[in-house]
Amino acid sequence: ELFEKKNYELRIAGGAVRDLLSGVTPQDIDFATTATPAEMKEMFTAAGVRLINNKGEKHGTITARLHEQNFEITTLRIDVVTDGRHAEVEFTTDWHKDAERRDLTVNSMFLGLDGTLYDFFNGYEDLKNKKIRFVGKAAERIQEDYLRILRYFRFYGRIAEKPGDHEPNTLQAIKENAKGLAGISGERIWVELKKILLGNHVNHLVQVMYELDIAQYIGLPLDGNLEEFARVTKNIQNLSPKPMTVLTSLFKGKDDVTNLDLRLKISKEEKNLGLFLVKHRQELTKAPGAEPLRPYQDFLMDSREANTNAKIFELLKYQGEEQLLKEMQEWTVPSFPVSGHDLRKMGVSSGKEIGTALQQLRDEWKKSGYHMDKEELLSCLKKL
The band of 382, judged by pLDDT with boundaries at 50, 70 and 90, is confident
pLDDT at 242 over 80: yes
Contacts of residue 282, defined as CB under 8 A and 6 or more positions apart, other chains included, come to none
Question: What's the predicted TM-score (pTM) here?
Answer: 0.87
- Asked whether residue 134 is assigned to any structural domain, the reply reads no
234 domain-assigned: no
Q: pLDDT digits over 342-352, tens only?
A: 888 877 777 78
115 three-class SS? coil
Return the pLDDT at 364: 84
> Which pLDDT belongs to residue 190?
98
pLDDT of residue 237: 87
Q: What are phi and psi of 135, to 5 degrees?
A: -70, 125
Q: What is the mean pLDDT of the chain?
A: 91
Q: Which pLDDT belongs to residue 76?
A: 95
Mean pLDDT to the nearest integer, 140-164:
95
Statement: residue 384 has pLDDT above 70: no
Whose CA is closest to 248, among 238, 261, 263, 262?
261
pLDDT tens figures, 207-236 = 999 999 999 999 999 999 999 999 999 999
Give the length of the chain: 384
* Residues linked to residue 250 through DSSP beta bridges, in sequence order: none
Residue 92 maps to a domain: yes
Please, is 193 exposed, middle or buried when counting C-beta atoms within 10 Å of its C-beta (0-12, 13-18, 19+)?
buried
Distance (Å, rounded) from C-alpha 142 to C-alpha 192? 15
Buried b (16+ CB within 10 A) or exposed e, 33-53: bbbbbebbbebbeeeeeeeee
* pLDDT score recorded for residue 183: 94
Q: What is the pLDDT of residues 50-96, one digit of tens each?
A: 998 767 777 789 999 988 888 999 999 988 777 767 777 889 999 99
At which of 108, 127, 146 does a domain end?
A: 127
- DSSP letter for each residue of 142-200: HHHBTTHHHHHHHHHHHH-SSTT---HHHHHHHHHHGGGGGGS-HHHHHHHHHHHHHST
Quote the pLDDT of residue 343.
81
Give the relative orientation of helices 186-198 and 148-159 as an angle to the nearest 10 degrees.
10
Tell me the CA end-to-end span of the chain in Å, nearest whole number.
84
pLDDT value of position 207: 97
Q: Does position 21 have pLDDT exceeding 70, yes or no? A: yes
**Looking at the 3D structure of the chain, how many domains does it have?**
2
Tell me if 363 is assigned to some domain.
Answer: yes
Q: Is residue 96 part of a domain?
A: yes
Percent of the chain with pLDDT over 90: 73
Average pLDDT over residues 127-135: 96
- Position 303 in a domain: no
What is residue 199's predicted lDDT score, i.e. its pLDDT? 94
Residue 43 has pLDDT above 90, yes or no: yes
**Residue 301 pLDDT greater than 90, yes or no:** no
**Which residue, 95, 127, 159, sits at the end of a domain?**
127
C-alpha 153/C-alpha 209 separation (Å) is 9
What does the pLDDT read at residue 23?
93
Per-residue pLDDT tens digits for 272-298 = 999 999 999 999 999 898 889 999 998
Beta carbons within 10 angstroms of residue 188's beta carbon: 16
Residue 164 pLDDT > 70, yes or no?
yes
Residue 64 within a domain: yes
pLDDT at 98 over 70: yes
pLDDT score recorded for residue 102: 92
Cα 119 to Cα 107: distance, rounded to the nearest angstrom: 10
Does a structural domain hold residue 177? no
**Which ranges constitute the DSSP H helices of the chain?**
2-5, 15-21, 37-46, 95-100, 123-128, 138-144, 148-159, 168-177, 186-198, 202-211, 226-235, 243-248, 254-264, 268-280, 294-302, 308-318, 322-330, 340-345, 351-367, 374-383
Of 67, 98, 127, which one is at a domain's C-terminal end? 127
Structural domain boundaries enclosing 351: 340-382
CATH assignment at residue 76: 3.30.460.10
Residue 54 has a pLDDT of 65
**Residue 99's CB: how many other CB atoms inside 10 A?**
24
Query: Residue 320: what residue type?
Result: G
Asked whether 344 and 382 are in contact (CB, 8 A), the reply is: no
Query: How many CA within 13 A on the CB side of residue 367?
Result: 8
Q: Please name every residue paired with 88 in a beta bridge, in sequence order, or none if there are none.
A: 81
